[in-house]
Structure 1
Amino acid sequence: MSLASVTARPSTSHRQKAKITDEVLCDKGLARPTRIIAPTSAATASACAAAPSTRGCRLLEYVYASATTATSTAFGDVGGQVREIRLWSTEHGVSGELKNLIFAADGPKPQIVLPDSISNTIRIVKNEQISLRERLRRSLGDNGAELLVFDTYLKPGFNLPALIPQVYLHYDPYTISQLGGASRLARQRMDFLLLMNHRVRAVIEVDGIQHYARPAGRTVVQEPGVGWLPDPARYASLVAEVRELTLQGYEVYRIGGHELWGDTAAEMLTGFFVRLLHRHGHADSN
């Protein structure tokens, strides 16, 4: 099997290089394509040729019949000719390995010891009765919108990826007071994170009015929609962050706070989670 390249022309102004793997039939002096691999930054052509199911690969695979089964009276295969064309198309997630997960759980932390530090064996010796789920929920405080998102996800009893609130995507271990009032990172935490199949990381943000507006001449907190002015700079910062995360391979889903006010908010959220989980192969999301 060998690799060749061909230039595909989807339009007169844009060109892309595709890779073709072909099988040479020495006895007939013929070469026939077995795979046509679309260019992608998510995986190498050699990786896609070896394993078409590799995350991020997009290709057509040609399957040839090994024998003739067709007759003059019945349809079937013809030996050496195309029997099947398979389309492989998978989305890619974040390229880097998951190494740290820092989140803001609230409440007494389990106390642990390491009976075998070489093997990193852990045993909880205190506070084991306090569930992580409750500590995660408490980290949301009295934020009704985020509590609704968290509770709606857990209500059906999904045996699925954990919805982790208040995850630090950007992290500075030094406090603002230690830095003399300065902040080296504009924003550190995301509202929610879902870790799914194939390195897919979905960021879910609940956007209140403070994400795109600023108080109009007041120093106290306003009621939603009262005394606020549009803030283009604040909104630009938000969409720039979304753009950067998307380029890194994250999926970003923003939920407007206004969507969570009505009686149908829980139904809307359930539908969203079911579709999102189905999309990434979590078949138990029924």
Structure 2
Amino acid sequence: MTTNLRILIADVLQAMTHTELSQAPLEIAGLVVPAGEGLSKRQRIDSALANLTEMDLAQLALKFAVHRGDVSLDEAGRKVLEANDPPITQITRRDVARVFGDDLAGERGTVEMVERYFPLSTPFEDFFGSMARSRGAHQSLRDKITRHMDDNPGDWSVEHLFGEIGAFDCSRARFGALLEEAVHPLARSGEEQLKSVAALNKILARDGYELVQESELSGHPIFVFRPLVRGVGGRPKNLIFASQGPKPEIGFADAINNDIVILSGEESCLVYDRPISSNGLLWSELVAWWSDIMPGANAANLGARLQKSLSSDAEHKLFATYFKVFHPALGETLPALLPQVYLHYDPAIVKTLRHRLPLPRQRMDFLLLLPGRQRIVLEVDGKHHFSEKDRPSLKVYADMVSADRELRLAGYEIYRFGANELVGDDAESRIADFFKKLFRLHRVAR
């Protein structure tokens, strides 16, 4: 597969002039083709591609595909990127087609929907199509779909259409994008949309995928295609974080809407109350919120404020390394790393409790909200996690692991670091390695 992809990309580059190859970094996001005075184009191209991994080549193929509108190159890249993911089998794709019967597009035109993702004709067919139709001769696939699905509904089933356009064998990403269009409110709305999504999800779940609501358009749900995950149910509504002083006193400004108000201790924490989609929370979104509530503030100001809530050298090292290593690589798509996040809020002061114990694990050291409702908890454990009054305590340890179990059963992922892991010469590489593996596991783009 790597060899084929390398050949496809090399063929694209070979069609460029020497000057265009030198301009490639500007047009194609980072591919550097060495000047190499006296070298042939093929030698320059081979040198540029020589050290690229299979994943690098796949990402490059996608960029070229967008630049050129090349579906075949896009498919080749996506097949590599999806090689280790659960496939959507032809059986599942067949059963998905049967959900739609003979109507994939609903209120939209079938050609309009399908040709966004699948090539329906060649320029030759487009040029001669009208002449061919007048004589009853060869028709492009676009013409056939128009005739058999839009002009004469019922001639073709969606299952037959899938076979004609290649939907049984295409990449998972392309198939998922087609389903998103089919359940878009411009195609289906109201009860029909919801019934279609429910029927599709029952089938898609067999292969580990689903359609989930991400947003709304004029009050109608917008669904996206994603891997089926066990993430936390519900949507985050209020994030109380970066606590750096006395515990805030919180009440409801509107309990029906779950709108909270800080009654005292407002200066000790931050409250993010904007909608959080199924894509999670990005650092860029957090910075935009911060700039709105603190006019003139920027990312550096926010970073400084968050660091004030950190309580140990180990936490500072984890936080600083995260941004140092991953912000340059991910930029606008970097997930927000939230420190000191309240999980439970117990309004009573601990010393006043007589009839019960306080809620355990009221605050998390760090929280990441990733796509697919995944919530990642990071804990930095000092000696107080295992001891009481400087003496080892099985009770303290038991309380900690008990709280961990409850969080995991609720769908959270928990990762613990010993504080001594996060200091010293190799701490930065250890932290970077952890986040690289975490992002690979959750398919966070890099």
Q: TM-score, normalised by structure 1?
A: 0.57
More helix by share: 2
Match of 2:237 in 1: 99
- Contact 2:242/2:338 (<8 A) preserved: no
Q: In the TM superposition, what are the counterparts of 1:58-69 in structure 2 within 5 Å?
A: 58-59=206-207
Structure 1 residue 133: Cα displacement: 1.7
Equivalent-residue separation in structure 2 for 1:105 and 1:53 (angstroms): 44
Partner of 1:153: 322
Alignment of 1:70-109 (within 5 A): 90-105=228-243
Residue 168 of structure 1 contacts residue 188 of structure 1 at CA under 8 Å; is this kept in 2? yes
Q: Does 1:272 align with 2:434?
A: yes
Task: Letter of the 2:342 partner, please give it.
Answer: Y
Question: Could you tell me how far 1:169 is from its partner in structure 2?
Answer: 0.4
Name the SS of the counterpart of 1:266 in structure 2: helix
Confirm or deny that 1:50 pairs with 2:220: no
Given that residues 176 and 182 in structure 1 are in contact (C-alpha distance below 8 angstroms), is that contact kept between their aligned partners in structure 2?
Answer: no
Gaps of 5+ in 2: 1-91, 99-167, 169-195, 210-225, 246-266, 269-290
**1:152–1:270 Cα contact (<8 Å) kept:** yes
Are the equivalent residues in 1 in contact too, given 2:313–2:423 (CA < 8 A)? no
Provide the identity percentage.
42
Structure with more contact order per residue of length (Cα contacts < 8 Å, sep ≥ 6) = 1
Identify if the C-alpha distance between structure 1 residues 58 and 252 changes in structure 2 by more than 3 Å, giving closer, same or farther: farther
Corresponding residue SS for 2:372: helix
Counterpart of 2:405 in structure 1: which amino acid? R
Determine the structure 2 residue equivalent to 1:194: 368
CA distance in 2 between counterparts of 1:52 and 1:270 reads 38
Q: How many residues end up aligned between the 2 structures?
A: 196
CA contact (8 A) 2:367 2:375 kept: yes
Work out whether 1:241 is the aligned partner of 2:391: no
Q: Decide which of 278, 281, 301 is 1:131's aligned counterpart.
A: 301
**Aligned-partner residue type, residue 248 of structure 1:** A
Cα-Cα RMSD: 3.9
Structure 2 contact 317–428 (Cα < 8 Å) conserved: yes
Q: How does 1:28-47 map to 2 (within 5 A)?
A: none
Q: 1:197 to 1:268 in 2, by over 3 A?
A: same
- Judged with a 3 Å threshold, the aligned counterparts in structure 2 of structure 1 residues 91 and 170 are, in CA distance, closer, same or farther, namely same
CA drift of 1:99 comes to 1.0
- Of Structure 1 and Structure 2, the greater strand share is in 1
Deviation at 1:281, TM superposition (A): 1.7
TM-score normalized by the length of structure 2: 0.38
- Would the aligned equivalents of 2:314 and 2:420 in 1 still touch at CA under 8 Å? no
Q: Once the two structures are superposed, what CA deviation does each residue of 1:205-237 show, in whole Å capped at 9, x if it has no partner? A: 01111111233xxxxxx6xxxxx33x1111111
Question: For residue 42 of structure 1, what is the aligned residue in structure 2?
Answer: none
Tell me the equivalent position of 2:421.
259
Q: Distance in 1 between matches of 2:360 and 2:444?
A: 34
Render the CA deviation track for 1:246-272: whole Å, top value 9, x for unaligned: 000000001112212331111100110
